[in-house]
């Protein structure tokens, strides 16, 4: 049998489905045989399933983006992907039809019904019917939780008054005195990745995002609880936000690999560093404010000129993905935790004296190997202790001077993802997979408080 011309196939398909609708007595809305093909309802789900993995703002294979109408409208490497009203001139149809369609490059070919739908949409003028708020994740009130969200980020203000924790779509703020709730700050991003208070404790910077869609830096006024800015800087999540020592700039890392420096309060991008070959996850400023450090899944800790964006050197030996990193509170050293259980302190300077015999000249201390990826690290405020969160739900404390383990904090139901010391060094807070924040005395390892940051709704859940 010779295949039907595409437009005929489409006619038959649509007629058949309307007949089926009649016989089954489906709702009248389904009988609208002549309803045009909808970009948003009909095409985007197909593209999402089969195309967007390779054609999105962060992965522009063939220089095309199928993840939004605006993206798809931009011509690719070989010109426009579609010409409204003219299927024959539409490159996308040539790519997805034929005996061995070249797209999708991997995975199952689209069915005839699916390619017909796309053809029909183009024939009908390739109109955009994306609702205005289709990609907005804005919500107006704090979310209701039915289970505890992972505590992915924690920060304490330099004056010691405020403890901030990540929630879903929101930052939860507590008074450290009595651990009383102070604010629930709801923003557009669903995932809160990193939190940093300004030196004067008056502003809280938040690196947040919606994976593969939005990367945002939010700044909140601590006193009023209002969002002062929300800079949308990327089409993917951002991480590792840090304030410059003078408080006039912010550095932020990202899933798009870039490290950015933004002016505060204008939000102007002052510097962008594109030297990492995988997601960058952390940033830290050296005390001078002229140099910046970034850590990445590509295993490198890079030293960067914060003004020019010039790459200075890798400070470490490239052993494992850098999963977490903090700067020493006073000295020009950094502590990192690695994807393979490494826990090391490095001098934050050029690695220029390296030789073939010693290519790790900046290494200051190598702590005992951890039983899996290290998820969070912290320096005590005087730099004498370090804390590391390891996958078995433990937090281990070490003396920075000799590398001896001094305490092991347990009792977490799952891994710990965030850590912070109080500025006076008398408390260590942990944020865990089990959704709880715990406070320990770092000197003795004793648990002194447990905080459940979000209220859990029991509505609609059947009791035992
Ligand atoms: C596994 C990755 C992958 C998937 C999935 C994929 N593509 Fe592609 N696509 C590519 C690559 C790579 C190219 C660049 C040309 C090449 O290497 O063949 C490309 C090129 C194209 C082009 C040509 C752009 C130009 O101007 O040259 C179009 C159109 C296209 N793809 C459409 C689609 C559609 C529609 C889908 C889903 C049905 C899809 N692709 C799924 C990887 C992919």
- From the CA of 81, give the closest atom in ligand 1: 29
Residue identifier of the C-alpha nearest atom 33 of ligand 1: 103
Secondary structure (DSSP) of 48-84: HHHTTTTEETTEEGGG---SSHHHHHS-BTTB-S--T
The DSSP call for residue 365 is E
Residue identifier of the C-alpha nearest atom 20 of ligand 1: 62
| Substitution site in 49, 56, 61 for ligand 1 pocket (most atoms within 8 Å of beta carbon) | 61
Residue identifier of the C-alpha nearest atom 13 of ligand 1: 62
How many residues does the structure list for the chain?
464
The mean pLDDT value for 208-214 works out to: 92
**d(CA 234, ligand 1 centre) in Å:** 23
User: Of 227, 230, 280, which is closest to residue 256 (Cα–Cα)?
Assistant: 280
Can you give the pLDDT at residue 420?
98
Ranges 1-5, 85-89, 99-103, 156-160: which has the least confidence: 1-5
180-197 β-sheet, strand order: 154-156, 162-166, 168-175, 180-197, 203-210, 214-221, 227-234
Residue with tokens 């183009």: 122
Can you give the pLDDT at residue 136?
67
- Structural domain boundaries in the chain: 36-123, 154-451
Can you give the pLDDT at residue 280?
97
| Substitution site in 54, 112, 118 for ligand 1 pocket (most atoms within 8 Å of beta carbon) | 54
Ranges 196-200, 226-230, 354-358: which has the least confidence: 354-358
Which two three-digit tokens encode residue 292? 């910046």
Q: Interior CA angle at 35 toward 29 and 41, to 5°?
A: 85
Q: Other C-beta atoms within 10 Å of 35: how many?
A: 12
On the CB side of 315, how many CA atoms lie within 13 Å of its CA? 27
- Asked whether the beta carbons of 217 and 250 are under 8 A apart, the reply is yes
Between CA 306 and CA 285 the distance in angstroms is: 9
| Substitution site in 51, 65, 79 for ligand 1 pocket (most atoms within 8 Å of beta carbon) | 51
The DSSP call for residue 98 is S
Query: pLDDT band at 174, cuts 50/70/90?
Result: very high
* CA distances for 114 relative to 42, 103, 105, 107, 223, angstroms: 9, 13, 16, 15, 54
The mean pLDDT value for 298-307 works out to: 97
Can you give the pLDDT at residue 58?
74
**d(CA 40, ligand 1 centre) in Å:** 20
Residue identifier of the C-alpha nearest atom 6 of ligand 1: 104
On the CB side of 395, how many CA atoms lie within 13 Å of its CA? 32
- Asked whether the beta carbons of 252 and 239 are under 8 A apart, the reply is yes
pLDDT exceeds 80 at position 338: yes
Give me the percent of the chain exceeding a pLDDT of 70: 90
pTM of the entire predicted model: 0.71
Query: pLDDT tens digits for 84-131?
Result: 999 999 999 999 999 999 999 999 999 999 999 999 999 999 999 987
Strands 280-285, 291-296: pairing kind: antiparallel
User: Of 386, 427, 430, which is closest to residue 410 (Cα–Cα)?
Assistant: 430
User: Of 128, 55, 127, 58, which is closest to residue 92 (Cα–Cα)?
Assistant: 55
The mean pLDDT value for 322-346 works out to: 97
**d(CA 45, ligand 1 centre) in Å:** 16
pLDDT exceeds 50 at position 460: no
Residue identifier of the C-alpha nearest atom 23 of ligand 1: 62
Residue identifier of the C-alpha nearest atom 12 of ligand 1: 61
pLDDT exceeds 90 at position 282: yes
| Substitution site in 44, 60, 62, 110 for ligand 1 pocket (most atoms within 8 Å of beta carbon) | 62
Query: pLDDT band at 462, cuts 50/70/90?
Result: very low
**d(CA 105, ligand 1 centre) in Å:** 6
Can you give the pLDDT at residue 11?
38
Between CA 211 and CA 284 the distance in angstroms is: 23
The mean pLDDT value for 162-178 works out to: 97
Between CA 354 and CA 322 the distance in angstroms is: 21
- Asked whether the beta carbons of 379 and 335 are under 8 A apart, the reply is yes
Can you give the pLDDT at residue 20?
42
For 406, list phi and psi in degrees, rounded to 5.
-110, -25
Can you give the pLDDT at residue 267?
95
Between CA 282 and CA 50 the distance in angstroms is: 32
| Substitution site in 78, 95, 122 for ligand 1 pocket (most atoms within 8 Å of beta carbon) | 95
- From the CA of 106, give the closest atom in ligand 1: 1
**d(CA 12, ligand 1 centre) in Å:** 29
Between CA 243 and CA 251 the distance in angstroms is: 6
Which two three-digit tokens encode residue 240? 């590792």
**d(CA 13, ligand 1 centre) in Å:** 27
For 92, list phi and psi in degrees, rounded to 5.
-60, -35
- SS3 labels along 17-29: HHHHHHHHCCCHH
The mean pLDDT value for 3-8 works out to: 42
Can you give the pLDDT at residue 28?
39
Residue identifier of the C-alpha nearest atom 36 of ligand 1: 51
Residue with tokens 């924690």: 154
Average pLDDT of the chain, as a whole number: 90
Pocket (CB within 6 angstroms of ligand 1):
50-51, 53-55, 61-62, 64, 66, 76-78, 81, 91-92, 95-96, 102-107, 110
Query: pLDDT band at 337, cuts 50/70/90?
Result: very high
Residue with tokens 């796309």: 118
Can you give the pLDDT at residue 293?
98
Ranges 5-9, 76-80, 319-323, 441-445: which has the least confidence: 5-9
Determine the distance from the C-alpha atom of residue 369 to the mean position of all C-alpha atoms in its chain, rounded to a whole number: 27
The yes or no reply on domain 154-451 and CATH 3.90.1720.10 is no
Determine the distance from the C-alpha atom of residue 100 to the mean position of all C-alpha atoms in its chain, rounded to a whole number: 37
Residue with tokens 């593969």: 212
Q: Other C-beta atoms within 10 Å of 425: how many?
A: 16
pLDDT exceeds 70 at position 340: yes
């Amino acid at each position: 049998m010779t295949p039907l011309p595409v437009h005929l196939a489409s006619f038959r398909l649509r007629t058949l489905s309307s007949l089926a609708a009649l016989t089954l007595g489906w709702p009248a809305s389904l009988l609208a045989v002549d309803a045009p093909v909808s970009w948003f309802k009909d095409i985007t789900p197909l593209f999402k399933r089969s195309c967007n993995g390779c054609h999105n703002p962060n992965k522009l294979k063939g220089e095309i983006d199928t993840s939004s109408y605006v993206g798809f409208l931009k011509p690719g490497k070989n010109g426009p992907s579609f010409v409204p009203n003219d299927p024959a001139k539409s490159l996308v149809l040539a790519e997805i039809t034929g005996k061995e369609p070249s797209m999708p490059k991997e995975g199952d070919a689209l069915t005839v019904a699916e390619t017909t739908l796309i053809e029909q949409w183009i024939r009908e003028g390739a109109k955009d019917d994306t609702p205005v708020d289709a990609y907005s994740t804005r919500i107006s009130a704090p979310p209701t939780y039915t289970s505890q969200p992972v505590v992915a980020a924690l920060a304490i203000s330099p004056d010691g008054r405020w403890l901030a924790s990540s929630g879903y779509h929101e930052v939860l703020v507590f008074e450290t005195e009595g651990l009383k709730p102070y604010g629930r700050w709801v923003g557009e991003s669903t995932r809160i990745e990193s939190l940093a208070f300004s030196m004067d404790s008056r502003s809280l910077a938040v690196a947040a995002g919606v994976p593969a869609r939005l990367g945002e830096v939010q700044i909140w006024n601590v006193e009023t609880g209002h969002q002062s800015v929300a800079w949308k800087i990327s089409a993917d999540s951002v991480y590792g936000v840090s304030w410059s020592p003078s408080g006039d700039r912010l550095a932020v890392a990202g899933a798009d690999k870039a490290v950015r420096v933004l002016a505060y309060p204008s939000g102007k991008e002052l510097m962008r560093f594109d030297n990492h070959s995988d997601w960058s996850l952390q940033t830290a400023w050296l005390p001078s404010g002229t140099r910046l450090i970034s850590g990445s899944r590509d295993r490198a800790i890079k030293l960067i000129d914060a003004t020019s964006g010039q790459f200075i050197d890798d400070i470490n030996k490239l052993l494992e993905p850098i999963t977490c990193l903090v700067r020493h509170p006073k000295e020009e050293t950094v502590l990192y935790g690695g994807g393979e259980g490494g826990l090391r302190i490095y001098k934050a300077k050029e690695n220029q004296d390296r030789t073939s015999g010693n290519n790790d000249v900046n290494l200051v201390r190598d702590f005992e190997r951890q039983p899996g990826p290290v998820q969070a690290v912290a320096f005590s405020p005087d730099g004498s202790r370090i804390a590391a969160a390891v996958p078995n739900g433990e937090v281990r404390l070490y003396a920075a001077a000799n590398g001896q383990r001094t305490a092991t904090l347990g009792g977490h139901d799952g891994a710990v993802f965030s850590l912070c010391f109080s500025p006076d060094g008398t408390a260590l807070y942990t944020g865990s997979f089990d959704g709880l924040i715990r406070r320990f005395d770092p000197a003795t390892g004793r648990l002194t408080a447990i905080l459940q940051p979000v209220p859990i709704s029991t509505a609609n859940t059947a009791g035992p």
